[in-house]
């Protein structure tokens, strides 16, 4: 992800030149937050309109990496997606939240179909259906 964020800054400078100053401003604000962690300041940063705009730009950048930047980029982004799913499942097992459990079970099902893991796809779908109707 660190590599993606540094690539994001370069991509913004190349594709969205007018947004470069906004991205630099957000990054410098987050750096100051990194040195002095405060929940209130963090929430304020997340609520700013400029942060929402940067988040939308980052989603476009991730889409670019998934679809237009080549096979290696596509592989690493899919790998990070799978790691995120795994970390969510670990979180669920530690917290014991039923709704979060169902959501984390739903996420890997398309990957099971994509990677031709038919048994996992079949049984996870059935498990999700049964658990949703409890």
pLDDT in tens, 29-84: 677 777 777 777 777 777 777 777 787 888 888 888 888 888 888 888 888 888 98
The verdict on 63 and 87 lying in the same domain is: no
The verdict on 20 and 57 lying in the same domain is: yes
Tell me if residue 132 falls in helix, strand or coil: helix
Q: Residue 123's domain spans which residues?
A: 71-134
The verdict on 65 and 100 lying in the same domain is: no
The answer for residues whose C-beta is within 8 angstroms of residue 26's C-beta and 6 or more apart is 45, 50, 51, 54
- Nearest Cα to 19, choosing from 45, 46, 58? 58
The verdict on 116 and 131 lying in the same domain is: yes
pLDDT computed for residue 4 by the predictor: 80
The verdict on 84 and 56 lying in the same domain is: no
pLDDT computed for residue 2 by the predictor: 78
Query: What rounded mean pLDDT belongs to the chain?
Result: 82
The verdict on 61 and 79 lying in the same domain is: no
Widest Cα–Cα separation across the chain? 52
The verdict on 84 and 63 lying in the same domain is: no
The verdict on 53 and 98 lying in the same domain is: no
């Amino acid at each position: 992800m660190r590599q993606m964020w540094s690539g994001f800054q370069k991509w913004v400078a190349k594709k969205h030149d007018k947004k470069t100053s906004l991205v630099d401003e957000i990054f410098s604000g987050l750096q100051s937050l990194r040195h002095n962690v405060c929940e209130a300041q963090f929430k304020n940063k997340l609520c700013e309109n400029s942060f929402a705009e940067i988040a939308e730009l980052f989603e476009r950048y991730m889409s670019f990496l998934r679809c237009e930047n080549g096979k290696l980029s596509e592989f690493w982004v899919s790998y990070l997606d799978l790691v995120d799913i795994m970390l969510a499942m670990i979180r669920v097992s530690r917290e014991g939240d039923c709704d979060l459990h169902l959501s984390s079970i739903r996420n890997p099902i398309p990957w099971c179909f994509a990677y031709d893991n038919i048994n996992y796809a079949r049984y996870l779908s059935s498990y999700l259906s049964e658990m949703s109707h409890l």
